[in-house]
Amino acid sequence: MTEVMIALFIKHYFADYVFNNTPSNKHIYGSMGSINHLIIHMLFCVLALIFLIPIHLALLATVFDGFIHYHEDWLKSRYLYKRKGLSDRHRRAVTGFDQLVHMVTYVVIAWTVT
The span from the CA of 23 to the CA of 20, in Å, is 9
Is the pLDDT at 22 greater than 70? The verdict is no
Read off the pLDDT of residues 92-108 as tens digits, 9 standing for 90 and up: 999 999 999 999 999 99
DSSP state of 86: -
Residue 78 binned pLDDT confidence (cut-offs 50, 70, 90):
very high
Read off the pLDDT of residues 54-73 as tens digits, 9 standing for 90 and up: 999 999 999 999 999 999 99
Query: The whole model's pTM is what?
Result: 0.91
C-alpha distances in Å from residue 31, one per residue of 50, 66, 67, 99, 101: 28, 15, 15, 21, 22
User: Residue 111 has what pLDDT?
Assistant: 97
